[in-house]
Amino acid sequence: MRCGPWAALAVGLLHFCLAQANFAPHFFDNGAGSTNGNMALFSLPEDTPVGSHVYTLNGTDPEGDPISYHISFDPNTRSVFSVDPNFGNITLVEELDREREDEIEAIISISDGLNLVAEKVVILVTDANDEAPRFIQEPYIVLVPEVSEGSLGSQELLEELISDPFSSTSRLRGADVVFSVTTTVTINVEDVQDMAPVFVGTPYYGYVYEDTIPGSEVLKVVAIDGDRGKPNHILYRLMNGSDGAFEINETSGGISVLQSPAQLGREVYELHIQVTEISSAGSPVAQAMIPVTIRIVDLNNHPPTFYGESGPQNRFELSMYEHPPQGEILRGLKITVNDSDQGANAKFNLRLVGPGGVFRVVPQTVLNEAQVTIIVENSAAIDFEKSKVLAFKLLAIEVNTPEKFSSTADIVIQLLDTNDNVPKFTSHYYIARIPENTLGGSNVVAVTAVDPDTGPWGKVKYSIYGTGSDLFLIHPSTGLIYTQPWASLDAEGTSRYNFYVKAEDMEGRYSLAEVFVTLLDVNDHYPQFGQSIQEKTMVLGTPVKIEATDQDAEEPNNLVDYSITHAEPANVFDIDAHTGEIRLKNSIHSLDALQNITPNGDYTWSLQVQAKDRGSPSFSTTAVLKIDITDTETLSRGSMAAFLIQTKDNPMKAVGVLAGVMAIVVAITVLISTATFWRNKKSNKVQPVRRVLRRRPSPAPRTVRIEWLKFRRAKTATKFMLKEDPPNENCNNSSAGITMPPRAPAPPPPPRMAPRMATQWKVPTVSGSLTPQQPQQSSKPKTLGSPIQSSLVSELRQKFEKKSVDNKAYF
């Protein structure tokens, strides 16, 4: 190899050393038959037209920097190709001729601006059948003595007559075409020593293997005298190109290697051999020169080897934080791989063996030597909490050799923790149940959150918030929730509390859980009667009811049982323990039976009733109930009295019934007035105005006036009655013999209108009032002024007035 390519390689190695901080680019090796890559095993037909795009250099840079391509040749040889530095397109710029040059050596390089990687490639030129033989003149019959002056020798004559002395086969338009021509040439020549030596068996290629011993013959060059009649003796001589590595036997032409293969500095040696004819007199007559190519053939006896910064190394360690960005290069690893073999024996693949999809290695295919780059592929899988150490094996295995030599290196990555986890509660919600009488500062429930991060990142701080959290506190470190020291819980006021608990790490990453606190009811309320002394009226056969309420929140604490604790005389009443209804014994059916056992004979009893809850411990309270007893026969003497007795305990019921009656009367009146209005409008006449005649003035204009509960001391409620006035004279269906009330004032005369054939309608006038019935007008007087009825009416009036004052309702 000449000094030019070595200088380029030296420059490339210098750039490589200076760019250690930046990873070097590399070519893709796509193998034989590919039209892009690093021109490995690339061949080109000799008939390829000049200007053709024959190949594309292709490579990449680990950092993704822009790359450029270059191609160079030995200064003593032709520059056969040119390359586009940006796209790598290689173009043929010189015509090829296999007979003159069967292979082309070039140096291709790739650069990212800081690093330059150069590779030496050999492009083989293949033969093409591009010329057909032809004869110039026919027939050929020559009689030329070799010694005659001015005549041509036999060799010159043949070269003159035939352009191509060989028959060959070429491919034309996709089919095999044989170019051939034949002729007969008759030459009678007498030999003369006028021809130079001729080499036999060209071209000459020799090979030196790694096991070749120094002094061994590599190949033999054979030359003969071109004059066949009387050939001269041939001597061989090595002219140049051996660099002292080879020698030739001057008589036999055998070429021997003088050094061991390991000492040979080049892969290819181009030797120039000169042969000289020696005449019988011992003087040189003619000479010839021929090149000889000797290749140093590599034996596949070196496996790939990994190197660190200090030499061969089979274990590499690195510390890095978890979850690095995807595509990041592990710059802490300085790994170089090398195979000392040559050519195809030095081609091998790289791959990582271990958890799949976490990292990838670049390059994946190496020729001779490369710097190894490991890139992050899956950031999520690099998790300190899952695995603190990631271990891989970096495998280098040969590609195209039978031996498939390989080697491995251990890659151990120690992961460092980061704060990449949120504290998580062991449950999404927590439920606690505590008694309502729990003292302040008492424990309620403990919550737990776990942060898998290590160190200070794994420490959790707890806090609570929310509308229901005012009565509670939480320990910031343990997560124990307890009541405020001053908290007073009451299930009757608020029985359930709901708030949120927050778990937070030192950088503010947090999660939430919900807490539900339920207060368990404690029996801390006594049953309460509405009044401690109550009065009720009982009708024979109908119970009266007494009721107490318990303010506790839950059963059985708020369930009340009733009992009669004291009665004089006893054994007169029964009480329902659950409802509080009090009724007479089944053996008592009349007032007469009661009169015999009543102390004063007035049908009045006083009972002491106890209300007791079902809690534990149980609480009770008592009330005094005064009961006046009457019977239905007494009540039947007056419907109003019966009604008042029935509604004695519920005066609002009486008010509701009377209000309903009034509403019905008003609705009927409105319907009648509306119907009359539309009927008069259709008849286009003005009818007399409907009037309501009253005996007594009233501030509210009503068609019917009702006096409600107008009591007199000497009169009972049954003396109220509704009196209707007879219709006026305008009523169409009025009957004779009825006393007419005073007439209403006459309405103004209607306007004059055209006579109509339709019958005119008259509007009836209705008048009525609610007045006490006079004794002399009643055909059947009733004496209802008994003391019982008077007392019932008086009691009803008192309760009604009290209800009205309490409810601020005025009638």
Helix axes 651-683, 787-807, angle to 10 degrees: 80
Q: DSSP label at 134?
A: -
Average pLDDT of 567-593?
82
The pairing of beta strand 204-209 with beta strand 284-297? parallel
Q: Kind and range of the H or E element at 391? A: strand 389-398
Average pLDDT of 564-575?
83
Better-predicted residue by pLDDT, 608 or 190: 608
Q: Which residue has the tokens 């496996």?
A: 303
* One-letter identity of residue 659: A
The predicted structure's pLDDT at residue 4: 59
The pairing of beta strand 53-57 with beta strand 89-92? antiparallel
Tell me: pLDDT of 321 over 50: yes
The total of other beta-carbon atoms located within 10 Å of residue 780's CB is 4
Q: 42: Cβ–Cβ under 8 A, 6 or more apart, which residues?
A: 32, 55, 121, 123, 124
The predicted structure's pLDDT at residue 443: 93
Average pLDDT of 268-293?
89
The pairing of beta strand 335-338 with beta strand 347-353? unpaired
On average, the pLDDT of the chain sits at 77
Cβ atoms of residues 486 and 440 within 8 Å: yes
Annotate 132-168 with b (16+ C-beta within 10 A) or e (fewer).
ebeeeeeebeeebebeeeeebbbeebeeebbeeeeee
Tell me: pLDDT of 201 over 80: yes
pTM of the model: 0.41
User: How far apart (Å, rounded) are the C-alpha atoms in residues 512 and 395?
Assistant: 48
Can you tell me whether residue 655 is helix, strand or coil? helix
Better-predicted residue by pLDDT, 750 or 651: 651
Per-residue confidence at 49, pLDDT binned at 50, 70, 90? very high
Top-confidence range, 25-29, 103-107, 446-450, 806-810: 446-450
The predicted structure's pLDDT at residue 771: 34
- 6, 193, 585 from 222: Cα distances, Å: 33, 19, 154
Q: What are the backbone angles phi and psi of residue 538, rounded to the nearest 5°?
A: -115, 130
- Is the preceding peptide bond at 617 cis, omega within 30 degrees of 0? yes
Cβ atoms of residues 610 and 578 within 8 Å: no
Annotate 55-75 with b (16+ C-beta within 10 A) or e (fewer).
bbbbbbbbeeeebbbbbbbbe
The predicted structure's pLDDT at residue 134: 72
Q: 358: Cβ–Cβ under 8 A, 6 or more apart, which residues?
A: 376, 377, 378, 381, 382, 390
DSSP per-residue letters across 676-718: HHHHHHHHT-PPPPP----SS--SS--SEE---S---TT--GG
Average pLDDT of 550-561?
85
Question: What number of CA atoms fall less than 13 Å from residue 479's CA on the CB side?
Answer: 22
Cβ atoms of residues 451 and 458 within 8 Å: yes
The predicted structure's pLDDT at residue 712: 37
Q: What are the backbone angles phi and psi of residue 193, rounded to the nearest 5°?
A: -75, 80
Q: Which of 75-84, 236-245, 400-409, 631-640 is the least confident region?
A: 631-640
Dump pLDDT digits (tens) for 721-742. Answer: 333 344 333 333 333 333 344 4
User: How far apart (Å, rounded) are the C-alpha atoms in residues 303 and 424?
Assistant: 52
Tell me: pLDDT of 11 over 80: no
Per-residue confidence at 406, pLDDT binned at 50, 70, 90? very high
- 211, 462, 503 from 475: Cα distances, Å: 82, 7, 11
Q: What is the 3-state secondary structure (H, E, C) of 329-366?
A: ECCCCCEEEECCCCHHHHEEEEEEECCCCCEEEECCEE
Q: DSSP label at 795?
A: H
Return the ∠ at Cα 550 (arms to 548 and 554), rounded to 5°. Answer: 140
DSSP per-residue letters across 442-506: -EEEE--EE----GGGG--EEEEESTT-TTEEE-TTT-EEEE-TT----TTT--EEEEEEEEE-T
- Is the preceding peptide bond at 139 cis, omega within 30 degrees of 0? yes
Dump pLDDT digits (tens) for 459-512. Answer: 999 999 998 899 999 999 999 999 999 988 888 888 899 999 999 999 889 999
Q: Which residue has the tokens 């009541």?
A: 483
Better-predicted residue by pLDDT, 67 or 720: 67
Nearest of 688, 699, 726, 712 to residue 793 by alpha carbon: 712
Nearest of 347, 286, 361 to residue 119 by alpha carbon: 347
The predicted structure's pLDDT at residue 779: 38
- CA gyration radius for the chain? 65
Nearest of 807, 808, 652, 648 to residue 717 by alpha carbon: 648
- Is the preceding peptide bond at 569 cis, omega within 30 degrees of 0? yes
Which tokens in the block code for residue 413?
């990555």
Average pLDDT of 139-167?
55
User: How far apart (Å, rounded) are the C-alpha atoms in residues 535 and 537?
Assistant: 7
The predicted structure's pLDDT at residue 731: 33
The predicted structure's pLDDT at residue 689: 46
Average pLDDT of 225-250?
86
Tell me: pLDDT of 50 over 70: yes
